[in-house]
Amino acid sequence: MSINKNFLQFLPIIFHLISLTVAKNISAILYDVSPFIKVYKNGTVERLFGTNIVPSSFDPTAKVLSKDIKISPKLNVSARIYLPKNANCKLPLLVYFHGGAFFTESAFSPTYHSYLNSLVAKANIVAVSVNYRLAPENPLPIGYQDSWLALKWVFSHAKGKIGNYEAWLKKYVDFGHVYLGGDSAGGNIAHNMAIRFGSDKSGIVLDGLFLNCPHFWGNKLIGNESSDPKRAGVMESIWVHAYPNSTGFDDPLSNPGLDPNLSKLGCKRVLVYVAEKDILRDRGLYYGKALRKSQWDGVVEVVEIKGEDHVFNLNLPNSTKAKNMLKQVALFLNQGLVKYQI
C-alpha cells in the first residue's frame, strides 16, 4: 500500500490540529466553584485546595495519639481517631465532620489533624473525625449517608464487641457523654446527623452539638447575604453542584429553619459560632432563632466573633481569639459553663 507524498507532508499539521482539539476539550470547564473546585467537560475534577494529607501519629506537643480505621472498605468510608496519651478512664466523645463545601478537605488534612489534636488535648476527650466521600464524584446525599454509617459504627461500640472493632472506642469512651461537631459543610452535616439522631432508637444520649460557621442557605436571602452577590453566588453554586437532585435551597438539609422536624433535634445543648465578616453569619444567627421558636426543648447559644471571617480559627489557630474559642469549646464538651463572648 502506497501513501501519497503530498499527504505525508501535511501529517505534522494534522497531528498538531488534533492535539489542539484534545487540549481544548481537556481544558474546557464545565463549571467552576472557586475557590473550591473546577470541573472539566472531560470529567476531570480539580480541587483547588484541601488535597494534602498527613499520617496519623503521636503529637508530642499536644500529647495526643491518633490512628486511622476503615469503617466501610467497600464504600471507602473511614475515620481518624484521637486519644489523649495519658487516658486512664472513660472520656467524653466528639464525632467531628470536616468542612470544605462538600467538595474538598478530608479527615486526614493538616488543618483538621492539627485542630483535632489541639481540641482533644484541651478538652481531654476522645474524637472521631469522619472521612465521608466528596461531591461531585459522590453527590449528596452520599456524604450524609456515609456520615450516618460512621455514627452507627461508633455507637455500636456501646453495645459490645462488634466485627469491625476499635479498642480505643470500647476502652476509653463514655457513651453517656457524646457530642457532634463540625465546621462549614461539616457543620451542616453535624446538624443533620443530630436531626436524624432525634428519631433514632440507639439508646445513646447525645449531650450536645457544636457548629462552627455552619453552611446553611435558603431561597430568600437574609441579612448580609445580599451584600456580596459574588460570594452569595458561590454559596448557591456549592449546593447546586454538590446536591444536583435536591429540592433546592429550601431543602431542609440546606435550610433547617424550614425543617418541620427541627424540634426533633436529638440533643439539649447547641453551641454555634458565626463570624462577623462571613456571608454565612446571618444564616447561623437565623438558625439559633429558629431553634428557639420551634418546640425543641433545649438551649442554643450563638456566638458572633467580631472582625473575623469564615472558620477563622482553622486559618489562624494561634490567634488570641482562636485560642479563646478553643477553650470555650473544650468547656462545652465537658458540660462546663461557657462564657459566650470571645
Cell numbers found for residue 35: 475557590
- The one catalytic residue in 106, 184, 254, 294 is 184
DSSP character string of 152-204:
HHHHHTTSS--SS--HHHHHHEEEEEEEEEEETHHHHHHHHHHHHHTT--S--
Cell numbers found for residue 64: 495526643
Sorted by sequence, the CB contacts under 8 Å of residue 9 that are 6+ apart come out as none
310 is catalytic: yes
- Beta strand pairing call for 58-59 and 64-72: antiparallel
- The one catalytic residue in 59, 146, 278, 282 is 278
- The one catalytic residue in 157, 191, 241, 310 is 310
- How many CA atoms, within 13 angstroms, populate the side-chain half-sphere of residue 178? 23
251 is catalytic: no
Helix 185-197 and helix 142-156, axial crossing angle in degrees, nearest 10: 60
146 is catalytic: no
DSSP character string of 241-292:
HH-TTSS-TTSTTT-GGG-TTGGG-S-SEEEEEEETT-TTHHHHHHHHHHHH
Cell numbers found for residue 179: 457530642
Q: Which residues are catalytic?
A: 184, 278, 310
